[in-house]
Structure 1
């Protein structure tokens, strides 16, 4: 989300919150694909992190991009913290540790997604190169300690930074030292949302394994393949992880709204100022809990929208579904991640096949897989077999879905070409994280420094 919402429409009932989610229903011909990716920003001379302020800085990158493409600056106080496309289709934002994020426009096919990310990376390189800045595409910060990582001057991040240690042990690592690729996808009805969320919630750990690319922390192997996935095991378990009610056959928008109502808030924004509200849930807020603490204490739809953006389940529901399980990675993976999920969820036969494959997967065993995957990757055992066997089946379902969609580029090639990075993982029986570890123990001679050059965008 590029900016926090200030919709002043008052809330009068819980039903309105459910209706807000249901308003995401749209006809199939209006289904779109919104891809987001984050990247670490570093100085090429010494692989050190880039601060927010200064001539060569995160703010300089944002200002340079704003001057180049004319996007609208997003500010927090006097500081530029992002850019929004003039027509509202896409945005650039910064994560807490300076990770640079493109929130892509809602596009019709993966060919467009790949072109968009390629154009974005070309633009940021053009601004960054004279400043001696590069961008790294993997899932975890390979070198910098938390103390060495810069903090961005963004009000909601200040609230989160002080709150995270109260509710988990890994929240600050998540905020400051991880990167992801995610895709946002549409649904046509409550039943369609239910099926897509149920399937993708069950398969999110498989995506974590396929895209694992975060084996280093503070200059050495950390014992995981997806350190990022391990971090998410203890960030803030009231607002993250698997949602057990999504495994039911009858859950709907109301169930998600009811769950969200009982999660503590981060903030309430009034007149451009962020008021910390971590001591109350949204339900308590609706019952007047902030009366006497802020002048305009009655909740608005803007508050609800902002609250939904502070929830972090493996699949997040807004007026679309967000797939949140994958590590960041090199450019080809920015195309592969949306291809994987579009193939599974946007073709009826593929969705049916994925639903059939996972229909009897229980919450406990999926949660056990979620706990195993960060360290074991595709070698994790699921139902007596290595996960890679299930991964092959799921990738083939996705491929069939993409071929059935038959969205062709100018050369007549369909979207299944974008699964190539996953095909390589399956053929080699090794994730990108395992490739990185092999380099570390081999040609890199026990150093993580080469990753900045060899895996920069």
Structure 2
């Protein structure tokens, strides 16, 4: 594979060039895909500790051994300074989050049935390789046992730069890197107008999704007082690059206005000659105009821009597609309910219009405040004279109508969300009930109960 940042060495000559980079993601509806990404925590069955990259002679297994074992199933390695830090197979990839969270970035697929098959196959393959290594994997929103200092670090160059920068801009950035897991879906847009409507709708509804998928009520072996600690972590990570940007809701918003926003998101790094260059906190706008201080002759390229866009961590990220980022990882059924929810809302014209109508009069300040509020009470959170649970019921019903209109029988994958809306019990509420009623307060039992691989 090409090194990040060096895949496209085209010089940047205008802001319009950057806007056109986003616009090239536009596709006719017949070519829209559904790409799901999810992360999960590894653990040793013997003591539930998080596996390091390479444990050494004192212990078998580890993340590197897992990556090497999966190569026998047709995956090709991705290297960073000679270390395998990911895998590719076709249009899918496997990558490592900073604390060893194991991530599948699925291929863009035509329908949700293909996505369910992809998820099951990935979990089966991971289980086949991880089991003999004494390891398992559990998709949860926040690590329920380990302290921050007990989490390993993966040998990826970009993570070292982020590790140094995060404490300068937020109190929980390192927790985000090491102790959280999410599930995301990547969806396409038809043109600029379609992108704008999809982005506004999905940003407005992202706090609703955060509540529906809440699955991180424990930390360091005890209840943490929240339904989604992962959701809270993201409010204390880095205000320059996270959250729900008000600019999206401004009149006249489009690709060019988004470029202006991203230019002022502080940089992390660029890559040259296979080496990461730390420029954390620097301005991409100034990099374009003046070069990089201390690195004469280094000019901004389109590859640098593509890398920089990946460091914008808003609740919905615009790249050459839209990436929904507001949900905790969960059970396999919940992992797949996330793409079902957003596909239903955004891949049918009538459903998208209904969703847009649902959020039409929500001021952006109230949406931002809801994002801060939902980690504690999730579905019970009051919002505009209702509860989030009531709003979620409306959104799930629209999604069902959207999937039914596609005519593929995909609405079956919304069943877990319909059950949550009907009962009012999120994944987090269920874990808290089990811990109180059946586990005798032993939070460690969640690993066996939640293990998916």
| Band of TM-score, shorter chain | over 0.9
Alignment of 1:209-288 (within 5 A): 209-288=211-290
How many Å separate the matches in 1 of 2:295 and 2:31? 40
- Residues 17-416 of structure 1: matches in 2 within 5 Å? 17-54=18-55, 55-69=60-74, 71-85=75-89, 87=90, 89-291=91-293, 293-407=294-408, 414-416=409-411
How far is 1:2 from its partner? 11
The more displaced of 47-56 and 348-357 is: 47-56
Supply the distance in 1 between the matched residues of 2:267 and 2:451 (Cα, whole angstroms). 36
User: Deviation string for 1:13-42 (max 9, x for gaps)?
Assistant: 111111100110111100000000000000
In structure 2, how many angstroms separate the alpha carbons of the residues matched to 1:232 and 1:296? 36
Match of 2:433 among 438, 441, 450: 438
Q: Distance in 2 between matches of 1:3 and 1:400?
A: 43
- Aligned position for 1:425: 420
**CA drift at 1:72:** 2.1
TM-score, length-normalised on structure 2? 0.97
Could you tell me whether the CA contact under 8 Å between 1:399 and 1:419 is conserved in 2?
yes
Cα distance, 1:82–1:318 mapped onto 2, change above 3 Å = same
Paired with 1:364 and 1:431, the residues of 2 have a C-alpha distance of 26
Counterpart Cα distance in 1 of 2:136 and 2:327: 22
- Structure 1: state its 5+ residue gaps: 408-413
Return structure 1 stretches of 4+ with deviation > 3 angstroms: none
Specify the SS of the correspondent of 2:183.
strand
Distance 2:247 2:5 in 1: 28
TM-score w.r.t. structure 1 length?
0.96
Q: Aligned pair in 2 of structure 1 residues 61, 296: CA closer, same or farther (>3 Å)? A: farther
Contact 2:5 2:270 in 1 (8 A): no
Distance 1:359 1:234 in 2: 28
The answer for unaligned runs of 5 or more in structure 2 is none
Cα drift, residue 3 of structure 1:
7.0
Cα distance per residue 1:208-252 (max 9 Å; x no partner): 000000000100111110100000001000011011011234210
Conserved? CA contact 2:5–2:272, under 8 Å: no
- The count of residues paired between Structure 1 and Structure 2 equals 447
Partner SS for 1:287: helix
What SS does structure 2 have at the residue aligned with 1:38?
Answer: strand
- Residues 423 and 2 (structure 1), Cα distance of their counterparts in 2 relative to 1, 3 Å cut: farther
Once the two structures are superposed, the pairs formed by residues 442-453 of structure 1 within 5 Å of their partners are: 442-453=437-448
* 1:410 paired residue number: none
Please state whether the residue corresponding to 1:256 is helix, strand or coil: helix
In the alignment, which residue of structure 1 is the partner of 2:13?
12
Task: Give the root-mean-square deviation of aligned CA atoms.
Answer: 1.3
